[in-house]
Amino acid sequence: MRAMILRTTSTFMLSGILALSACGTGTEGTEQTSPTVESTTLRPVVTPCEGKCDGPGQVWTSPYKADIDKLNALWPDTYPMKSVEDAFMVRMELGDVAFDAPTHLYGGPLNVIPYNNKDNVEDASGVLWERGDAAIAQAFGPGTIGFMIKHHRPSHRVLNPESLSADLKEQAKLQITHLGIVVGVERDGGVGAITLNNPQSYESGKFGTPDYPMIFVKPTWPEYLDPNQAQAFNDNTLLMMAGFNAVSNFPGDYNGGDPLGAHTVERLKQYTEQMVRAIAGDEEALEFFKDPATELYCAELGFVGMSAGLHFPLNAETMVPLVGQEVWDAFLAEVSLHNEGKESAFTSLNSNDQVQHIRFHLPPEDLKAMHSYSPEASELADKLAFKPMTMADIVQHFLRTHVPREFLGEQIAPVQGKLLEAMKPGLLEAMAMDALPEEDPRRMALDQFFAALVGVVSTSYGSYDEFQQNLAPLMAQARQMTGPRDMSGTGYFVPPSLYHVVTQGKHKGGLIGLSYVGHGLHTSVTYDPDASPVDLDMGSSDDSQDMSNDMSMEPVLPPDNPYAGSCANACGGASPDGTCYCDDACAEYGDCCADIQVECLEP
């Protein structure tokens, strides 16, 4: 299976990125089984499960494949795709240096999940789909939550100096431009799936057009939770997300100018209180979310809803001391109205008609904050669902996502430094310092720092470890320079790309992780080989997407590829060839990949 093909024996590392968010940029009846959570005494299975795999913590194995000819027709390029993996890679070109970077892959078999906003549509082979969300519903059962990471990687599969300069902001965001919340529901007599978004009206609560694909992910619940607790936090978080979606407002500036207001647990508590009051009918609480400082862009909605769902159970024990019995009773009344199919604040305050299909389950009365169930409760008490990013964090993750310098040598350092220098104007713009005169002390200090950073990146060291040692103090300084300087949250970011790098195991520090579910491709370019009535020439996709029915993990990479047996793009799971592991449990089992400390530990 092709995932990373090196075009030369040398490579380079891009070293600059803009800390920008984006939301929506683009062309625009089964009974649920109980969820399962892996035992702490057994290694979690790294391959998808069989049968009904739609609950929290479960991953469904899709039988669907992509029609490569139709992919190439949808996304024509200088380099035609030969496998479905090619759609989610970028060809890096600088002079004599060229290689394919697996920017939107996750180190394991690619799981194709078809989507369509309409029902009664045909797939690539002419098979009729009665429900356009049928495949998504197989991955997300009723009430199960997840995220869709919307991106334009297939439309931008070549990165060179010209394309970088012409499209700097979007390249810096990894072409990831929207984050939606996925919810499994029951609709029209069967199972289905919807999305919650800010802005609320995005895609009318569905999934999108053929040329704007997505990646589906699910929360990875901690091993210290039992199955019932994991289900309870899934349910609590869904109610939180629906509440915040109903009462929040989408900001006018969502490309880096919007502060992350709920960046501490105490601030998150204030947001939660105001959400409950707003759903209960408090007009002043509704006004709270109209303040530009408390508006929520798309990825921020997911961040706030997820974090609040883990810290504040929506039960009387937690909420009555916070809002009072009268307000809490009014909130519960709105939940009851909604579950009865009647108009409630969850629907009247939301322009997304699909919300009506959600059914809420209140958490148990004795449920406490998630961290309290951990043996290290005190260490987790101040953490949010995911660790917010500073500008420096985004730089770091852009470096790691694109080019693994450790594998292909220090000789490419000068080329790497030139790329970093070329991205300086975009970095200055993102920090709102591009308009400052060059003699301004703040601009001078940043120029000096950037020159030092370019100097380190441009230097060929004796080893990659030595490079990291020299880079680490500058990265620490960069985090201090770019992080928040007051309680407004300005300087913290939760861009849609955050969810991507968390899923890749590249941004630890939150209460939970995220697990890859599948790549969303439109039904018009997908097919089920066991159901297709038309004999189509599907190019080389049959071999590249063959996930065996015996549930054995098929290597994504050939054994002689430098990424085999590596944690590159595999932190939190198994290496691409399945020979070693890159998760927290590998030390216990003695099967860690040799480069786990270099790839997966925060510098």
Q: Binning pLDDT at 50, 70 and 90, where does residue 9 land?
A: very low
Give 406 or 508, the one with higher predicted confidence: 508
| Per-residue pLDDT at 19 exceeds 90 | no
Q: Binning pLDDT at 50, 70 and 90, where does residue 45 land?
A: very low
Q: Binning pLDDT at 50, 70 and 90, where does residue 457 land?
A: confident
| Per-residue pLDDT at 256 exceeds 70 | no
Name the nearest CA neighbour of 475 among 543, 399, 403, 569.
399
Q: In Å, what is the CA distance from 518 to each residue of 58, 111, 477, 547?
A: 12, 4, 37, 13
Do residues 364 and 232 make contact, with C-beta atoms less than 8 angstroms apart? yes
Q: Binning pLDDT at 50, 70 and 90, where does residue 269 land?
A: very high
Q: Please list the alpha-helical segments (H only) found in 280-370.
A: 283-288, 298-311, 316-323, 325-339, 345-348
Q: In Å, what is the CA distance from 487 to each residue of 259, 462, 483, 484, 559?
A: 10, 42, 11, 7, 50
Name the nearest CA neighbour of 122 among 520, 535, 519, 527.
527
351-384 pLDDT tens trace: 999 999 999 999 999 999 999 999 999 999 999 9
Average pLDDT, the chain: 81
Q: Domain locations in the chain?
A: 1-546, 555-603
| Per-residue pLDDT at 267 exceeds 90 | yes
Query: Residue 1's pLDDT is what?
Result: 26
Mean pLDDT of 531-541: 43
Q: Which residue has the tokens 């002043």?
A: 284
Give 598 or 112, the one with higher predicted confidence: 112
Query: Residue 14's pLDDT is what?
Result: 28
Query: Residue 258's pLDDT is what?
Result: 63
Q: Binning pLDDT at 50, 70 and 90, where does residue 588 land?
A: confident
Distance separating alpha carbons of residues 35 and 232, to the nearest angstrom? 10
* DSSP-assigned letter for residue 410: G
Complete DSSP assignment for 469-509 = HHHHHHHHHHHHHHS-SSTT-BTBB--HHHHHHHHTT----
| Per-residue pLDDT at 281 exceeds 60 | yes
Quick check: helix, strand or coil at residue 581? strand
| Per-residue pLDDT at 171 exceeds 70 | yes
Give 263 or 71, the one with higher predicted confidence: 71
Mean pLDDT of 516-530: 95
Highest mean pLDDT among 388-397, 500-509, 552-561: 500-509
Mean pLDDT of 587-598: 82
Do residues 307 and 382 make contact, with C-beta atoms less than 8 angstroms apart? no
Q: Binning pLDDT at 50, 70 and 90, where does residue 506 land?
A: confident
Q: Which of 302-306, 394-398, 550-554, 571-575 has the least mean pLDDT?
A: 550-554
312-329 pLDDT tens trace: 999 999 999 999 999 999
Query: Residue 253's pLDDT is what?
Result: 60
* DSSP-assigned letter for residue 146: E
Do residues 526 and 124 make contact, with C-beta atoms less than 8 angstroms apart? yes
| Per-residue pLDDT at 38 exceeds 60 | no
- Say whether the peptide bond before residue 404 is cis (omega within 30 degrees of 0): no
Mean pLDDT of 333-342: 97
Percent pLDDT > 90 in the chain is: 52
pTM for the whole structure: 0.80
Q: Which helix (H) or strand (E) holds 168?
A: helix 168-172
User: Is CATH 3.40.50.300 the right assignment for the domain spanning 555-603?
Assistant: no
Query: Residue 27's pLDDT is what?
Result: 45
Percent pLDDT > 70 in the chain is: 79
Query: Residue 174's pLDDT is what?
Result: 87
Q: Binning pLDDT at 50, 70 and 90, where does residue 564 land?
A: low
175-231 pLDDT tens trace: 999 999 999 999 998 999 999 999 999 999 999 999 999 999 999 999 999 999 999
Q: Which helix (H) or strand (E) holds 216?
A: strand 214-220
Q: Binning pLDDT at 50, 70 and 90, where does residue 563 land?
A: low
| Per-residue pLDDT at 572 exceeds 50 | yes
Highest mean pLDDT among 55-69, 346-360, 445-459, 541-555: 346-360
Query: Residue 48's pLDDT is what?
Result: 40
